[in-house]
């Protein structure tokens, strides 16, 4: 598309040179910019893209800027009022606004986003709506999924629009997007026409970025605003809210055509009855209006029942039948690294989970505490990549719910692992080192220590890494597979029966 035609589709965009330059891709990394690309100079947390605009231009790219910078002569360039929002609109326009050709569900929240995103996709598929999805775990257009190795919950705007375009061209009728608060604040999904805005819960997280809980919730609520303002495609624009979560009353204040609530403890529009553990999962009766259907979920914990209710409510918002949605929920096999069971026939339960914040760790430990007849043991650590995840709060969560725990290393990057462990220990109140917990900075050794401590009937939770395939340490990432480490530990200790 010619630069001037792109500019016509973005409010406030002005072509300053090269209006007839052909653009084939929108990029935000100057190292990947070349002829046919439009490099958008984005002001980031650590660097300002304007500093690299001349490099991109020298490589043959056109440039989009918020403010003037020296550029090579005859560089095609575009002035934007807001480069982040502009980049999203430019990418969407270049791909022909693919979200307008899809039914789009956005899922956000503090915990449970990834699992719920995949539950929504499974439910919609079973109800006859073929969908693609973008989550922190995997990305899928219409064929087999690929691993999301970007390290981002939500991809940058050009990548989001590119995937949506693939979905539309490869036969998907809908898209399910896992949307982080960072993505909402930074405009990564600003050009997505959402039909459903779904919320798992909103606690206290990423305060190192947002500053206050109010600002964090405000960022999350942006999903409702985007949904309400999007072009209509049939179903009323709907906010799906958790009636059991304190955020419900705050989010309810944001105007939208329709709201659907779900919950376990309060009389919501979509609810669960007769919740009971079954095998390694949970059975319940799914209730929506006058309709009822039985669900046998392959996931443990009441919080996963809530995630399933959220997914069902998204399907009902799109007019899909409850019984077919229930079939999809029951068929969902679970998500790698999200309360994933490791079973080699050992006499105690072992789970791998991604809980890497104080909120997430407290949530999963609270659920497992209620479901565990024996002792609850946990291995976890504070990540240097998660400055707002409250290391001391993680220590408090372990001290409150676990019988024994091992504090270890989780993505220290360039930080001192011992210092991170000390920050966790600062929250461990009323528990004694050596008796109730210990510190083992070698994560492999920590896992094996917890497995060695476990007795028949106990439950061991390995928290923090989940689906991730690397451990971020000084000098760069090293390969890591938490499930494989658990299995290797069980075998090395002679605890595996299969």
**Each residue's pLDDT tens digit, 295-343:** 999 998 899 999 999 999 999 999 999 999 999 999 999 998 989 999 9
CB atoms within 10 A of CB 384: 21
**Regarding the domain delimited by 98-331, which CATH topology (the fold level of the hierarchy) does it fall under?**
3.40.1190
Helix then strand then coil, in percent of the chain rounded to 5, is: 35, 25, 40
Q: Which of 158, 156, 7 is nearest to 76 (CA)?
A: 7
H-run or E-run covering 235: none
Does 210 score more than 70 pLDDT?
Answer: no
For the structural domain made of 3-94, what CATH number should be given?
3.40.1390.10
For CATH 3.90.190.20, the residue range(s) in the chain are 340-492
34 vs 388, residue with greater confidence: 34
Q: What is the pLDDT of residue 387?
A: 54
For CATH 3.40.1390.10, the residue range(s) in the chain are 3-94
pLDDT tens, residue by residue, 402-435:
999 999 999 999 899 999 999 999 999 999 999 9
Q: How far is CA 39 from CA 52, 71, 89, 165, 175, in A?
A: 9, 13, 14, 20, 27
Q: What is the pLDDT of residue 208?
A: 63
* pTM: predicted TM-score of the whole model, two decimal places: 0.89
pLDDT, mean of residues 28-40: 95
Does 388 score more than 70 pLDDT?
Answer: no
Q: Which of 148, 13, 19 is nearest to 85 (CA)?
A: 13
pLDDT, mean of residues 358-380: 91
Contact assessment for residue 54 and residue 69, using Cβ atoms and an 8 Å cutoff: yes
Q: What is the pLDDT of residue 455?
A: 97
Does 441 score more than 60 pLDDT?
Answer: yes
Q: What is the pLDDT of residue 212?
A: 86
Q: What is the pLDDT of residue 204?
A: 61
Does 265 score more than 80 pLDDT?
Answer: yes
**Regarding the domain delimited by 340-492, which CATH topology (the fold level of the hierarchy) does it fall under?**
3.90.190
pLDDT tens, residue by residue, 448-497:
999 999 999 999 999 999 989 999 998 889 999 999 999 999 999 999 98
The helix/strand/coil state of 63 is strand
Q: What is the pLDDT of residue 370?
A: 85
In percent, the amount of the chain with pLDDT more than 70 equals 98
């Amino acid at each position: 598309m010619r630069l001037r035609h792109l500019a016509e589709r973005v409010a406030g965009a002005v072509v300053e040179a090269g209006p007839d330059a052909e653009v084939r891709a929108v990029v935000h990394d100057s190292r990947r910019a070349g002829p046919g690309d439009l490099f958008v100079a984005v002001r980031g947390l650590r660097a300002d893209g304007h500093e690299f605009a001349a490099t991109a231009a020298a490589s043959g790219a056109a440039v989009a800027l918020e403010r003037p910078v020296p550029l090579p002569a005859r560089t095609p360039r575009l002035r934007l009022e807001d480069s982040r929002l502009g980049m999203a609109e430019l990418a969407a326009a270049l791909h022909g606004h693919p979200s307008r050709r899809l039914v789009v569900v956005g899922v956000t929240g503090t915990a449970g986003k990834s699992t719920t995103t995949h539950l929504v996709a499974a439910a919609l598929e079973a109800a006859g709506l073929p969908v693609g999805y973008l989550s922190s775990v995997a990305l899928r257009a219409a064929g087999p999924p690929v691993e999301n190795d970007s390290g981002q919950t939500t991809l940058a705007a050009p990548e989001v629009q590119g995937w949506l375009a693939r979905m539309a061209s490869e036969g998907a009728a809908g898209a399910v997007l896992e949307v982080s608060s960072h993505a909402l604040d930074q405009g990564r999904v600003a050009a997505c026409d959402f039909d459903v805005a779904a919320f798992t819960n909103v606690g206290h997280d990423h305060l190192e970025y947002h500053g206050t809980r109010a600002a964090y919730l405000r960022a999350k609520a942006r999903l409702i605003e985007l949904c309400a303002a999007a072009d209509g495609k049939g179903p009323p624009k709907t906010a799906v809210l958790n009636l059991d979560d304190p955020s419900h009353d705050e989010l309810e204040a944001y105007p939208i055509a329709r709201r659907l609530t779900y919950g376990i403890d309060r009389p919501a529009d979509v609810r669960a009855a007769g919740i009971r553990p079954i095998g390694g999962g949970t059975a319940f009766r799914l209730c929506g209006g006058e309709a009822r259907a039985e669900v046998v979920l392959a996931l443990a914990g009441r919080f996963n029942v809530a995630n399933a209710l959220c997914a069902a409510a998204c399907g009902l918002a799109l007019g899909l039948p409850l019984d077919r949605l229930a079939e999809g929920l029951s068929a969902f096999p679970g998500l790698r690294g999200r309360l994933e069971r490791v079973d080699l026939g050992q006499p105690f339960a072992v789970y791998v989970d991604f809980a890497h914040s104080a909120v997430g760790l407290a949530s999963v430990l609270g659920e497992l505490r209620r479901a565990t007849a024996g002792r609850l043991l946990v291995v976890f650590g504070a990540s240097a990549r998660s400055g707002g995840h409250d290391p001391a709060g993680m220590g408090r969560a372990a001290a409150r719910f676990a019988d024994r725990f091992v504090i270890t290393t989780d993505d220290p990057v360039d930080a001192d692992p011992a210092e991170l462990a000390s920050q966790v220990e600062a929250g461990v109140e009323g528990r004694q080192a050596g008796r109730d917990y210990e510190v083992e900075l070698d994560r492999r050794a920590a896992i094996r220590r917890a497995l060695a401590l476990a007795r028949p009937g106990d439950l061991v939770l390995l928290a923090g890494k989940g689906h991730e395939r690397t451990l971020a340490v000084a000098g760069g990432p090293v390969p890591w597979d938490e499930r494989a480490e658990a299995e290797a530990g069980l075998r090395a200790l002679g605890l595996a029966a299969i």
